[in-house]
Amino acid sequence: MKLLKLIALLILVPLLMTAFGTWEKIRADEDRADLQSLAANLDESIPKLRQLVAERPMTSVTVGDQKMAATLALSRFESAADEMGTMLALSAVRVGLAVATIALGIIAATIGALALAATIAAGGIARQSRARMLRAFEAGRRLLPYVLVSHIAIIAAAAATIIVFEALGMWHMGRMSSGDFKLLLAGAAIAFGCLFTAWSMFKQLGLMLQMFEPTPMDALGRTVSEAESPALWDYVRGLATRLGALPPDHIVVGLTEGFYVTSHDVLLQPSAQVLHGRTLYLPLPYLATLDRDETSAIIGHELGHFAGADTEYSQRFVPIYDGVSRSLHVVAGSIIQGDLLQRTMMRPAFLFGVFFMEQFDHSVNHWKREREFAADATGVRVSSAEAAGAALVRSVAMMPRIDQALSARAEASDAIAEDAIEQLLRALSGAPLTAPDEHLDERLPHPTDSHPPTRNRIEALGTTVPAVLARGLRPVTVSEGLKTLDDYLGNAAPLRRALSDDFDAHVKAQDQEITELLQAHADAVQDETTLVEGARKHGILMYVFGGFFALVTASMLVFGLMTATTLGNSFTTVIIVAALFGVFSAGLFWRGRHFVRDHDKPLITLTPDHFIIANVADPLPIAHIADMGLQVGNGIRITLTLEPEAGTPRMLPRKVGARGGKFNARKRTLTILMAQASANGERLKPDQLLDLLSNYLKAGQARQILHDRA
């Protein structure tokens, strides 16, 4: 579906403009030929008329079908001759504009087709090898922003040429009326708007470039220098040397995530320090509970991404690819928060950005899987298959327990004196570790890669889950875990406390930010708003059309009755047609009556906590609304999807033709149909109605969340 949309936006729309430009060119050539013929006739007729007027001033001549005095004809011909130069110049300009429209449309369609074809081809090339994938992706991300900006600017320019062409077509010989000038000015204003859009598109180039530029990844933790922890650095460098891998430039320790190494720029929190180069992240909860061989297997796995043929891929492609993915999310937020013009201009580019990334997804996932298996084999070189398998089982078994303990700490309202590492170790030692089958089929947490299932990785090592299960599920001891960290880091207590404080402060800051956002949404809506259909004018218009068809019906009946003897068998046909018109007229009167009668009756009353719908017995709590949709076409359709636990709303009977909600029990949707929507005496545009409904929904949901949090 995305490809079809892009084909329509990037190729079909320009081709339609080209077709329209071709039609304009035909019209412009015909008009120019007519003007040239007229100019030739004037050049031939004016001397003859002058001679005739000089010889016989009072004589009359016939011009077309009109007879007039020769002096008047001469005056009109001379006026037309004076304006002919302007008209011929304008006709030449219109021919040029039509040609420009054709050319711009062809150029835009060609750019769109080449961009789509090149992107699809790049996806195919990416499947051949990692090196080719890297080159194809790099070329695409650098060229696409400029290609897309050029395409949209050319489309806007083509629209401007079309509008100027049609506006100049209103210029005619003789005196121009004020209405003619107003139409010309309106056309000029629209054309200027199109050119302004093209100019604005270049202003959006920065946002498009941002779409294809890597964004730093966030990490909650602290750097550990060689001076602070020489034993850890010696250990990691020794592993890198044994593997022939590049050592990290930075070692970061933290409480969250799993082990990973990356060449992304890392934005370290809470210090806001940006780390460039290779960064190795070590999660202390796992580091404390794995033995030396298991840790060597995991760190060896990570360093394996910077050994051999994987080095260039890990250093160049992975950071850029994942960074661009994050950038697309950032740009999506910017587009949503932007104005209508920005959303309109950026939508094709954003769709193309997503499509571009999707062409590489299959290849990236394939190579990621291959890389993980190869990195596992690398880790075994500095440990053993049993240690590597046990490390995987142990990590999978501890992961939910660690996440649960960190979540409990984050939800605690009071400050916790105990450092987080000791707290986690106590939680892990409180009950035996388990690794259910479904856990072994999960993927270990990693901020950039999608690892294969743990079970597959263990089997690829040449061992089995049962063979490593006992070692991986051995008990956790608090004292042993703390000693392990001291062995790596020296005196780890101050660092453990600092990381705990960072975690608590980070959670508190996030909580404060979320609370402020929720409160802002809750405060945005305080009063009630009543939505009515407000379709009285629709009703009056239906009365008018109903009256017209009633007159047609009456006329046909009178005609049929008066000529029944002459109509013969056709009399029945006339009566049937008259009856159909009569039924249609009655339907218009009936519908118009409801529009006029019910135009100011409340359909939906929006309150900060409820939606009160005309034929729903009880107010519908906003907390019971899971989703909302708005469709605009032949009227307005508002669809509210209810939460499963919300129950079934009690629907009241409606009068025939009256508006209200309709509940679909199977889909759990409540649908309200309206010809239009009005509030406070003003008709709402679809985007205004959507914003209004969304604001009340967000406010009600925010109030509910704040209540639950309290």
Per-residue pLDDT, averaged over 457-467, amounts to 82
Q: pLDDT at residue 438 above 80?
A: no
Classify residue 258: in a domain, yes or no: yes
Residue 668 tokens, joined: 């759990």
Pairing of strands 635-642, 625-633: antiparallel
Q: Is the pTM of this model over 0.75?
A: no
> Has residue 607 got a pLDDT over 60?
yes
Identify the three-state secondary structure at position 463. Answer: coil
Query: How far, in Å, CA of 69 to CA of 55, rounded?
Result: 14
pLDDT in tens, 53-111: 777 777 777 776 777 777 777 777 777 676 677 677 778 888 888 999 999 999 989 98
CB 25 within 8 A of CB 98: yes
Cα–Cα distances in angstroms (integers) from residue 58 to residues 48, 52, 69, 72, 77, in the given order: 15, 10, 7, 10, 17
Q: At how many degrees (to 10) do helices 230-243 and 478-489 cross? A: 80
- Rounded average pLDDT over 166-193: 59
d(CA 650, CA 620): 10
Q: Which domain holds residue 577?
A: 532-597
Nearest to 156 by CA among 3, 17, 309, 351: 17
Q: Which residue has the higher pLDDT, 162 or 571?
A: 162
Q: Looking at residues 591-606, what average pLDDT do you find?
A: 78
Q: Which residue has the higher pLDDT, 335 or 424?
A: 424
Q: Which residue has the higher pLDDT, 560 or 439?
A: 560
What does the pLDDT read at residue 292?
A: 94
H/E element holding 251? strand 250-254
> According to the model, what pLDDT value does residue 451 have?
59
**Residue 522 included in any domain:** no
**Extended beta strands in 126-238, E state:** 217-220, 222-223
Q: Distance (Å, rounded) from C-alpha 468 to C-alpha 385?
A: 9
Which residues partner with 118 through β-bridges? none
Collapsed DSSP state (helix, strand, coil) of residue 556: helix
Residue 315 has pLDDT above 60, yes or no: no
CA distances from 630 to 633, 664, 685, 691 (A): 10, 16, 12, 11
Please report which helix (H) or strand (E) contains residue 522, including its range: helix 493-523
> Which of 203, 236, 260 is at the close of a domain?
203
pLDDT value for 616: 84
Q: Among 286-290, 429-433, 441-445, 608-612, which is the least confidently predicted range?
A: 441-445
> What is the model's pLDDT at position 329?
61
Band (pLDDT 50/70/90 cuts) for residue 675 is confident
Question: The domain spanning residue 654 has which CATH number?
Answer: 2.30.29
Confidence band of 474 (pLDDT split at 50, 70, 90): very high
Residue 243 to residues 168, 338, 379, Cα–Cα distance (Å): 75, 50, 9
Segment 538-553, tens digit of pLDDT: 778 888 888 888 888 8
Same domain, residue pair 453 and 325: yes
Classified as helix, coil or strand, 198 is helix
Residues 539 and 671 placed together within one structural domain of the fold: no
**Where does residue 232 rank: exposed (0-12), middle (13-18), buried (19+ CB within 10 A)?**
buried
Cβ atoms of 256 and 395 closer than 8 Å? no
Whole-number average pLDDT of the chain:
79
Please enumerate in sequence order all residues whose Cβ is within 8 A of that of 122, keeping only pairs 6 or more positions apart, or say none: 136, 137, 139, 140, 359, 360
Beta-bridge mates of residue 69: 60
Q: Is the pLDDT of residue 340 over 80?
A: no
Q: Does residue 554 fall inside a structural domain?
A: yes
299 in the same domain as 355: yes
* Residue 326 pLDDT: 58
Confidence category of residue 346, pLDDT binned at 50, 70, 90: low
pLDDT for 603 beyond 60: yes
Between CA 701 and CA 624 the distance in angstroms is 9
97 lies in some domain: yes
Q: What angle do CA 500, 503, 509 make, to 5 degrees?
A: 140
Stated length of the chain: 710
Question: What percent of the chain clears pLDDT 70, i.e. is strictly above it?
Answer: 79
The reported pLDDT for the residue numbered 213 is 59
Q: Which of 630, 601, 608, 628 is nearest to 688 (CA)?
A: 630
Same domain for 556 and 640? Answer: no
Question: Average pLDDT for residues 480-485, to the nearest whole number?
Answer: 93
Q: Are strands 60-63 and 661-664 parallel, antiparallel or unpaired?
A: unpaired
* 442 and 489 assigned to the same domain: yes
Q: Are residues 703 and 592 in the same domain?
A: no
Between 551 and 592, the more confident residue is: 551
Q: What angle do CA 263, 268, 274 make, to 5 degrees?
A: 60
Query: Does one domain contain both 593 and 617?
Result: no
Q: Find the mean pLDDT for residues 247-254.
A: 93
Residue 439 scores a pLDDT above 80: no
Q: Please tell me the least confidently modeled range out of 16-25, 112-121, 209-218, 468-477.
A: 209-218
Note whether residue 524 is domain-resident: no
Section 20-33 average pLDDT: 86
pLDDT digits (tens, 9 = 90+) for 493-509: 999 999 999 998 888 88
pLDDT at 437 over 70: no
Neighbours of 693 (CB within 10 A): 22
- The last residue of one of the domains, among 494, 517, 540, is 517
- Same structural domain, 593 and 606: no
Q: Report how far residue 385's alpha carbon sits from residue 547's, in angstroms, rounded to the nearest whole number.
A: 89
Confidence of residue 336 (pLDDT cuts 50, 70, 90): low
Q: 332 and 239: one domain?
A: yes
Among 114-123, 164-173, 257-266, 682-691, name the one with the lowest average pLDDT.
Answer: 164-173
Q: What pLDDT digit, counting tens, does each position of 391-434 carry?
A: 888 988 898 899 998 888 888 766 667 789 999 999 899 888 88
Nearest-CA neighbor of 489 among 303, 295, 298? 295
Looking at residue 616, the DSSP 8-state letter turns out to be: B
Count of domains in the chain? 4
* 447 or 227, higher pLDDT: 227
Q: Which of 131-140, 219-228, 428-437, 492-501 has the lowest mean pLDDT?
A: 131-140
Radius of gyration of the chain (CA): 38
Query: Which stretch of DSSP H or E encloses residue 529?
Result: strand 529-532
Tell me if 523 is assigned to some domain.
Answer: no
DSSP annotation of 176: P
Residues 223 and 191 in one domain: no
Decide if 333 contacts 350 (C-beta within 8 A). Answer: no
- Tokens for 381, please give them: 């070189």
493 with 545, same domain: the answer is no
Residue 212 belongs to some domain of the structure: no
State whether 435 and 369 are in the same domain. Answer: yes
Q: What is the pLDDT at residue 318?
A: 61
Q: What is the pLDDT of residue 409?
A: 87
Q: Which of 75, 80, 44, 97 is nearest to 172 (CA)?
A: 80
Q: What is the mean pLDDT of residues 196-202?
A: 56
Residue 350 near residue 292, CB atoms below 8 Å? no
Distance CA 710, CA 267 (A): 32
Residue 299 has pLDDT above 90, yes or no: yes
Dig out the tokens for 226 from the structure.
């060689």
The pLDDT, as a whole number, for residue 132 is 75
Cβ burial, residue 348 (10 Å; 0-12/13-18/19+): buried
66-69/60-63 β-pairing: antiparallel
Sign of the CA dihedral running 9, 15, 18, 23: negative
Is residue 568 a part of any domain in this protein? yes
pLDDT > 70? residue 611: yes
Best CA proximity match to 704, nearest among 344, 64, 696: 696
φ, ψ at 260 (rounded to 5°): -160, 160
Contact between 375 and 310 (Cβ < 8 Å): yes
Q: What is the pLDDT of residue 488?
A: 92
Least confident of 226-230, 494-498, 522-526: 522-526
Q: What is the pLDDT of residue 352?
A: 74
CB atoms within 10 A of CB 204: 21
**Is pLDDT larger for residue 462 or for residue 535?**
462
d(CA 12, CA 14): 6
Q: Which of 597, 620, 650 is the last residue of a domain?
A: 597
